[in-house]
Structure 1
């Protein structure tokens, strides 16, 4: 929310194009002409700004961040991020050396959403269709604002505590320095935005690149899990599950090739025009020589950890082949890692869309795991409609010949759920925060740790929370720094 950046947004807040199709949102280009209410006179103007808001909204940094900070990844053949991978960072380098700074991107989304809330009520309506479109635009903007504020909490706050320090919940465009507020009122505002968004949006899956009501339901389930509001987590996860069943074993592979929208209600389009290819950091980028032969990447920055690799039943679990690959081409090159990520492979080596994949924001599998954890915490460990039954249902959908497991205690089933989250949601932007919210350490295998200092991040260590960058402190002197960084 840096003030100097918001000043720029005052003069550059609206995109010129007014297409309502968002199939390739990240092809949208920023423009620099006068924004504000004068540029948001019509409903179409406001929808253009909404589309522009989607164009800067993504969780690619969260995917990289969670992998590098947790036990999902190990260094490849070019290790340049020692500071973050070994949890050595400070307010003056978290945004310079490795660019893990969530304040700018998420407050940019929030600022644009807030400009819609100011201008949209005054946009003239010519009938019922316009009235419905205004509701839809407002509902989507509320979803984006709630989601972005929740992400800021995950990066910069300790585990949920109503009296703990939250972030700054922006409800209007403002240049005024502000203090962070407590999590109690901060989450009340998140939940208020979610509640209103649910009332305005419909379950419309015709454009999966724009939020609908079920996407808001999924966000509510995720927020409730972090708040330890088990009943709300169960209710919202159940609604999602009843509307979107788990993918079949055949469909599952197609999810990661962007050939199927099974399990999904909202995702983010990534194209060759996007700022980066999500898979390149895990796979490198192949080329072809003059003879047409494949040439391996100059470097592969990050590869799956041995810990993650060894978690799967490699013969029967369909996730293994969809997520990971021991690449024969790379086996032949001395010094190159061959065990790489397959999850974000795109269209194949040395093709136009290599390493280009849509970002899946909510999936049915996550809802099963949310419900399972909430049911366990609420005391329903085994039997029908229990943590056990949810875990078995998910495993049966992923593992050939699976035999149902039984669990005798809450601790046993919670441990199994955490392992399943590790496998199912690998490199989707959850692992580091899962360990944080459960009060667990990051514990790497010796083979995955670059050094003794990089093997373990103790449970509840202050470094599970990022520092507020110094540049933000300079722009907003009222913002409080996180514990351990002063």
Structure 2
């Protein structure tokens, strides 16, 4: 019998196994489809779900659609806010860097298209899978749970990015070409229904962080309730993920920057050399490293190299050879190229659960002690090799949590959403850019969608 592998070796083996699975799955889906989603009409026409053998192929399409959402989500969350400054020639990134965003922006359109691609594939599965005979009951429940989670996640992102969006619940192409916007609150209630259904039937454990499990849904619910200011529920679901012991914080923060499928990853979208988005118009490595269309803003650089950031300064790196003109020489390191081991995009990880729980506890007035906000903050500060916080008022601790989210989660797609949900966007962003306007608390409905969908005409977000 072979000797048992130590924990880290076993983890590395699982990561290699996961990448092998992803490579096998991705070969069934073209690179162009992942990076530049085809029109939904064509996509739905190509799907087939008539017999048990079709289930895995359609499931692959569902996860592929989630990969298409990932990079535009990071762009929305961090490029809209105060983390970047424009350094290149692309109009899309000039608009985001100078805070003069238009409805014709390509990133705005890319996220919308990828979001609805995910929704359509999920709807297809939800409609068809219950009618396919011969599918194992466990498989049916799991794939339906994955579809409900993906649809709920897409609508959660859509509601917090665009506000009211069309509520598409089926694959009737004729009807879906003419659907108006549903109020944000109703979209979020629908997303919650999907999350709750997914939680019931998702597997207790997944093969790796590339797949949906109950803890993935719990992590999404923790974020959902944080955004809703339902502090008790946010604390509850974050605690369930933390207490599951399924994830452990990496001892060295730099591992978060340089490696895929770390021990604290709850859900991340995986890429291989065959479908890596690094060279696409919206590929993070291409934008941040290759072309350097945007670079870390001076403000975020100051934050990340401060003593309070500790080892989390490894998120960015400095090269004096790039220090010229308006280029400050700093580069984001979190997204590598196709042949590096850090080109995945993390959607949920354990550190965020500690930050969610800390914020919820602070809002509930539980500041110190073993079950207080400071204890959760200090777990992350200890990992970062910075001094623990020992006291503070509620306002002081909430400010500390905002700073910790910068240090810990920079360039993982949270900043703009954080500023908007906490009511801090105007104060922070008007100090950052003279061009900031309150309309940028939502992205515009893409102009191409308004031209394509009659029900959207005259129903743009205010100010665009």
TM-score by length of 1: 0.79
| 3-state DSSP of counterpart to 1:453 | coil
For residues 244-255 of structure 1, what are the structure 2 equivalents within 5 Å? 244-250=246-252, 252-255=253-256
| 3-state DSSP of counterpart to 1:203 | coil
- 2:331 counterpart of 1:320: no
Partner residue, 2:152? 146
| 3-state DSSP of counterpart to 1:172 | coil
Tell me how far 1:334 sits from its aligned partner: 8.6
Judged with a 3 Å threshold, the aligned counterparts in structure 2 of structure 1 residues 478 and 463 are, in CA distance, closer, same or farther, namely: same
- 2:82 counterpart of 1:71: yes
- 2:434 counterpart of 1:453: yes
The CA distance in 1 between the partners of 2:46 and 2:285, in whole Å, is 39
Partner residue, 1:421? 405
- Residues paired across the two proteins, number: 421
Tell me how far 1:135 sits from its aligned partner: 1.0
Consecutive unaligned residues of structure 1, counting only runs of 5 or more, are 1-19, 158-165, 285-298, 347-351
The CA distance in 2 between the partners of 1:404 and 1:441, in whole Å, is 26
1:476 to 437, 446, 453: 453
Tell me how far 1:111 sits from its aligned partner: 0.5
User: Does the 8 A contact of 1:264 with 1:363 survive in 2?
Assistant: yes
Partner residue, 1:295? none
User: Does the 8 A contact of 2:352 with 2:409 survive in 1?
Assistant: yes
User: Does the 8 A contact of 1:61 with 1:100 survive in 2?
Assistant: no
1:438 to 412, 418, 422: 422
Tell me how far 1:35 sits from its aligned partner: 5.9
The CA distance in 2 between the partners of 1:440 and 1:342, in whole Å, is 27
Partner residue, 1:266? 267
User: Does the 8 A contact of 2:445 with 2:461 survive in 1?
Assistant: no
Partner residue, 1:4? none
The CA distance in 1 between the partners of 2:84 and 2:318, in whole Å, is 15
Could you say which structure has the larger radius of gyration?
A: 1
- 2:372 counterpart of 1:386: yes
The CA distance in 2 between the partners of 1:365 and 1:49, in whole Å, is 32
Tell me how far 1:345 sits from its aligned partner: 3.3
For residues 327-366 of structure 1, what are the structure 2 equivalents within 5 Å? 327=319, 330=322, 337-346=328-337, 353=339, 357-366=343-352
The CA distance in 2 between the partners of 1:108 and 1:432, in whole Å, is 24
2:59 to 50, 55, 62: 50
User: Does the 8 A contact of 1:381 with 1:387 survive in 2?
Assistant: yes
CA RMSD in angstroms, aligned pairs only: 2.9
The CA distance in 2 between the partners of 1:280 and 1:117, in whole Å, is 36
CA deviation string 1:98-136 (max 9, x = no partner): 55542211111111111111111122226xxx1111111
CA deviation string 1:189-222 (max 9, x = no partner): 2111111111111232323212111111111111
User: Does the 8 A contact of 1:69 with 1:432 survive in 2?
Assistant: yes
Judged with a 3 Å threshold, the aligned counterparts in structure 2 of structure 1 residues 246 and 406 are, in CA distance, closer, same or farther, namely: farther
Tell me how far 1:271 sits from its aligned partner: 2.5
- Structure 1 or 2: more helix by fraction: 2
Partner residue, 2:16? none
Partner residue, 2:165? 167
Judged with a 3 Å threshold, the aligned counterparts in structure 2 of structure 1 residues 300 and 94 are, in CA distance, closer, same or farther, namely: closer
Tell me how far 1:342 sits from its aligned partner: 1.7
User: Does the 8 A contact of 2:258 with 2:341 survive in 1?
Assistant: no
Partner residue, 1:228? 229
CA deviation string 1:234-274 (max 9, x = no partner): 11111111124542333x32233225521112210123322
| 3-state DSSP of counterpart to 1:317 | helix
- Once the two structures are overlaid, the 10-residue window that deviates more, 462-471 or 421-430, is 462-471
- 2:105 counterpart of 1:94: yes
Tell me how far 1:171 sits from its aligned partner: 2.0
1:108 to 106, 110, 117: 117
Judged with a 3 Å threshold, the aligned counterparts in structure 2 of structure 1 residues 218 and 354 are, in CA distance, closer, same or farther, namely: same
